[in-house]
Amino acid sequence: MSTVIRASSPLSLLALVPRLLGCTPRRSLVLVPFAESRSLAALRVDLPADDNPDLPRIASTLIGMACKVPLTDAVTVVIYTDDDVADRGMLPHSALVDAVLERAHICGLRVVEALVAGANGWGSYRDPSVGGAHTLDEITAAGPDVPESFPEHDQVAAAALPVVDLAETERMARALEDVDLLLDVPRRRKNLSVSRRRSAEAILDELSDPPALFESVLEPLTDTTGRHRLASLAFALERPLLRDVALMQWVGDIAAGDAAFHAQTRFPDGEGYPQDIARPMWGEGAIPDLDRLLVALDRCRRVAATAPRSRRPGALAACAWLAWATGRSTHAAFYAESALEIDPAHGLSGIVLTLTDNGRLPEWLFERTPRRARGRLT
């Protein structure tokens, strides 16, 4: 359901934004579209410099994106800066905020609030006398109507891969090497112990039905099944054909995965790739189950964290696309750049980075859906 807040309370707004984004932004501008008193989403962008000559264009782009969200009739602007908030007078980044508010007025959007959270406190652009006397502690203490925990990490730290045990990394590396050995030099399988050979053969058995594998990794994973399935997933994500099948299946269902796998295996023979199957890759088509995509993102993050560095680009690219598909453009760029640091020619990572650099977001993020199922436009 959409979150309902008292739009007249600046503290409630400041307490809401980090919970909408899942992080406490730094050096950011956040735009929150509203339908009456209901928050619809949250859009975060890096804070441009005060002397940036393109402030009017930036403001037009931001308000234009807010207008794409159905039923939007109002916006709140929040600036997160490392600058101090003075007691009186000019607040930091006033020129940018003025440009955004002017564009909102031109587009007929009501401004709920225009706020700033700085190094020493918070303030209001609509009431400059509200300044440094208000501390940041007031924000974290506010929001009794918003029960979610207050996130302390910023937009970059939130993208960090999970920490995994070194033993897990070594097990993953060994499993992938064993599968490579069975595929490339089958006659050397006798060099493997019985347990390692059986484990590698079990991974190959799962890879014989990729859609079944991609569906199974979305289920709760135990210590035993988790290691085995994540190793199988790691092997699959290294291969663009299988990785793309996984992404299209996660954005749809196992039937979509079967169709994508069928199309992928026939495409090398000269048969055209069906456009309806490929549309979700560009953010077009039916609204996906974003909770399902977030589970897939969690699994791919775990694979990327556990796989040897040289074998991470496929998993990182999957993380990048899934983050982009759920509206986490900042995270998508982080994963794509991480993959390109390892493999500068990695195709999907380059595509996702181009999408994020151009401010392109999936069309389904702007559809009218419950906020719980919406992505964060970050």
Distance CA 97, CA 119 (A): 18
Average pLDDT over residues 205-229: 89
Average pLDDT over residues 14-41: 86
Q: Please state the length of the chain.
A: 378
The phi and psi torsions of 78 (rounded to 5 degrees) equal -130, 125
pLDDT at 107 (0 to 100): 95
Mean pLDDT (the chain) is 86
Digit-coded pLDDT (tens) for 315-363: 999 999 999 999 999 999 999 999 999 999 999 999 999 999 888 889 9
Q: Which pLDDT band, with edges at 50, 70 and 90, does 187 fall under? A: low
pLDDT at 374 (0 to 100): 42
pLDDT above 60: residue 8: no
Q: Are strands 28-35 and 110-117 parallel, antiparallel or unpaired?
A: unpaired
Domains by residue range for the chain, with CATH? 3-155 (3.40.140.10), 166-373 (no CATH)
Comparing C-alpha atoms, which of 302, 328, 334 is closest to residue 230? 302
Give the torsion sign (CA, 29, 34, 36, 39). Answer: negative
Q: Which pLDDT band, with edges at 50, 70 and 90, does 241 fall under? A: very high
Of 341 and 69, the structure prediction assigns the larger pLDDT to 341
pLDDT above 80: residue 371: no
Give the torsion sign (CA, 165, 170, 171, 176). Answer: positive
pLDDT at 186 (0 to 100): 62
Give the torsion sign (CA, 25, 30, 36, 38). Answer: negative
State the alpha helices, DSSP H only, in the chain: 10-21, 55-68, 94-106, 137-141, 166-184, 194-207, 210-216, 223-237, 240-251, 254-266, 275-278, 290-306, 313-325, 329-342, 347-357
Digit-coded pLDDT (tens) for 110-168: 999 999 999 888 888 987 666 555 777 777 766 545 445 667 788 888 899 999 999 99
pLDDT above 50: residue 240: yes
Contact predicate 122/115, CB 8 Å: yes
Distance CA 310, CA 323 (A): 22
Find tokens 């990794």 and name the residue. 217
Q: Percent of the chain beyond pLDDT 70?
A: 86
The phi and psi torsions of 10 (rounded to 5 degrees) equal -60, -40
Contact predicate 246/210, CB 8 Å: yes
Q: Which of 19-23, 73-77, 196-200 has the highest mean pLDDT?
A: 73-77
3-state class (DSSP) for residue 117: strand
Average pLDDT over residues 35-47: 83
Amino acid at 297: L
Radius of gyration, alpha carbons of the chain: 23
Contact predicate 101/107, CB 8 Å: no
The phi and psi torsions of 6 (rounded to 5 degrees) equal -85, 105
pLDDT at 228 (0 to 100): 86
Digit-coded pLDDT (tens) for 270-325: 566 677 888 999 999 889 999 999 999 999 999 999 999 999 999 999 999 999 99
Average pLDDT over residues 42-67: 90
pLDDT above 60: residue 221: yes
Reported pTM: 0.83
pLDDT at 332 (0 to 100): 96
- How many Cβ atoms sit within 10 Å of the Cβ of residue 53? 8
pLDDT at 218 (0 to 100): 96
Q: Which pLDDT band, with edges at 50, 70 and 90, does 96 fall under? A: very high
Distance CA 125, CA 64 (A): 21
Taking the C-alpha atoms of 256, 261, 262 and 267 in order, what is their torsion angle to the nearest 10 degrees? 120
Average pLDDT over residues 213-240: 91
Q: Which pLDDT band, with edges at 50, 70 and 90, does 7 fall under? A: very low
Question: Count of alpha carbons within 13 Å of 125, Cβ hemisphere only?
Answer: 24
Burial of residue 280 (CB within 10 Å: 0-12, 13-18, 19+) is: buried
Q: Are strands 110-117 and 74-80 parallel, antiparallel or unpaired?
A: parallel
